[in-house]
Amino acid sequence: MQRRLVGLTAAIAALGMTATLSGCGTDSGSGDVTLKLVAADYGTDAASSSEKYWSDLAGKFEKANPGIKVDVAVHSWKDVDRDVAAMVKAGEAPDIAQIGAYADYAKAGKLYTADETLAIRTESNFLPSLSDAGKVDGSLYGLPFVASTRLLFYNKGLFSDAGIDAPQTWADIQSDAAALKAREVTYPFALPLGPEESQAETLMWMLSGGGGYTDDIGNYDIDSVANVQTFRWLKNNLVGKGLTGPVAPGKLDREKAFEAFAKGEVGMLNGHPTLMQEAEKKGIDVGMVPLPGRDGPTKGSMGVADWMMGFKQNGHREEIGKFLDFAYTDQNVMAFADQYDLLPVTGSASLAMESDGKHEALHDFLAALPNSTLYPFGKTSWARASESIKEKIGGAVEPNGNPESVLAEISGLARQAESAE
């Protein structure tokens, strides 16, 4: 709170004025303030919609902060980034958005930094790897909201029927998938490289092959030797041998793959904590192991974070800060993580989850988070690079596809987008 009042105190002194500090910040004047909050829906139906969480949170905040109202709008996860972009373009930016990308808005000067909004105790509580991923030019703009890591999921019942063990290497994946195919499993290995979220599946495989989206100094390296070798292996040893099911990987979306796993139609796929919950509800005996690599289990994992941000347009800096400080208390962080089997983004909440036996199923995911690799969120070019991946990566494993040329094309588009920043 002290940081949010420094500018006000200096301004008062400079103008020789006196003022009474109220619940409203210097940017918003006096009287009641309504914050507009747009958030993504993590639910799969009306009963699990995120609307309830945000409405409950807003109600508790309003009760604790008279004079500040919160107008909540929850949008489909598929649409929310596009919807917020349209609002910003129309000059109707929300005060707070919980979405998937922040860098473009930060570069355009449309966001408050964490230093301008958060109490020190709140900002310092973020897990360092996530906090670092939320920075642009050294300042924290994207506040991590929830996180997840990825493991390889397998159907224990199907594996038992086929007499096979959980895979540790790519060769194990191939042999296990062949055994599952022989038993007429619909998707021996589900490989969702369709347009929904193929940038995630792509990164998981790149990491397991010793590559990634960027090199050691943060430059795009999408067409590296390691990445090309990884997609050649996928094309020749999984897709080419008919081990990925009846839908071409480039046409298979993650959501459809997850639905098929929950129905017992998938032997293996890369998944996140929410899938564990959904599959077990449907009676699937779920096994999980670290992502298999070329020669053994992958040491690191892919991590994903979604972001909160405060927009400057309406001048509600102080009120935004109060709401964010409230939202990031352990109780509220854990409530959302619990609802969707996701991982908390703060150190104190992570310790609480780690020490709580009821979250034992998430401990492997939690352990993988500190050393996980995230998307290059801080690049404003990442949004365009990600769209190129979603549009084109499936072609790398098609029967007539050329992994080297597809990755080179994607890499060229990413570098072109970065040079235009």
User: What does the pLDDT average to over 223-240?
Assistant: 98
- How many degrees, rounded to 5, is the angle at CA 344 between CA 342 and CA 348? 155
Q: Is 111 helix (H, G, I), strand (E, B) or coil?
A: strand
Least confident of 54-63, 97-106, 273-282, 306-315: 273-282
Between 312 and 382, residue with greater pLDDT: 312
| Rounded average pLDDT over 204-225 | 95
Query: Average pLDDT in the 58-83 region?
Result: 94
pLDDT of 95 > 80? The answer is yes
For 209, the 3-state DSSP assignment is: coil
Whether the predicted pLDDT of 20 surpasses 80: no
> Rounded mean pLDDT of 207-227?
95
Closest of 223, 214, 203 to residue 378, by C-alpha: 214
Per-residue confidence band for 301, with pLDDT thresholds at 50, 70 and 90: confident
Cα distance between residue 255 and residue 272, in whole Å:
12
Percentage, residues of the chain above pLDDT 90: 76
User: Of 3.40.190.10, 3.40.50.1110, 3.20.20.60, 3.40.50.300, which CATH number belongs to 2-147+304-368?
Assistant: 3.40.190.10
**Which phi and psi angles does 178 have, rounded to 5°?**
-65, -40
Contact 328, 122 (CB under 8 A): yes
Write the class of the CATH domain 151-300+381-419. Answer: alpha beta
The count of residues in the chain is 421
Is the model's pLDDT at 23 over the cut of 70?
no
Tokens, residue 131 = 């906090």
Mean residue pLDDT of the chain comes to: 90
CA-based nearest residue to 200, from 144, 142, 247, 258? 258
- The answer, yes or no, to whether residue 11 has pLDDT greater than 60, is no
Average pLDDT over residues 93-109: 94
Cβ–Cβ < 8 Å for 320, 117: yes
Strand 286-289 relative to strand 187-189, pairing: unpaired
Tokens of 175: 């042999």
Indicate the pLDDT class of residue 4, thresholds 50, 70 and 90.
very low
What pLDDT was estimated at residue 28?
Answer: 46
Nearest by Cα to 206 from 223, 185, 181:
223
Radius of gyration of the chain (CA): 23
CB-based contact 173:268 (threshold 8 Å): yes
- pLDDT per position as a tens digit, 345-400: 999 999 999 998 888 888 888 888 888 899 999 898 998 899 999 999 999 999 99
- Report the alpha-carbon distance of residue 193 to residue 390 in Å, rounded: 7
**Sign of dihedral through CA atoms 372, 373, 378, 381?**
negative
User: What is the spatial distance between Cα 399 and Cα 395, in angstroms, rounded to a whole number?
Assistant: 9
> What value does the mean pLDDT take over residues 299-311?
91
The DSSP code for 200 is: H
Residue range(s) occupied by CATH 3.40.190.10 in the chain = 2-147+304-368, 151-300+381-419
Nearest CA among 299, 294, 269, 265 for reference residue 282: 265
Do residues 300 and 373 touch, judged by C-beta distance below 8 A?
Answer: yes
Q: Which two structure tokens, joined as six digits, stand for 309?
A: 């941000």
Phi first, then psi: give them for residue 303, nearest 5 degrees: -115, 150
DSSP 132-148: HHTEETTEE-SEEEEEE
Q: Are strands 96-99 and 33-41 parallel, antiparallel or unpaired?
A: parallel
How many whole angstroms separate alpha carbon 253 and alpha carbon 263? 16
Residue 19 has pLDDT above 80, yes or no: no
Mean pLDDT of 122-132: 94
Instruction: Give the pLDDT score at 421.
Output: 66
**Tokens 């619909």, residue?**
186
The mean pLDDT of 221-249, rounded to a whole number, is 98
Q: Work out the average pLDDT over 339-348.
A: 92
How far from the centroid of its chain's Cα atoms is residue 339's Cα? 16
| pLDDT one-digit tens code per residue, 145-199 | 999 999 999 999 999 999 999 999 999 999 999 999 999 999 999 999 999 889 9
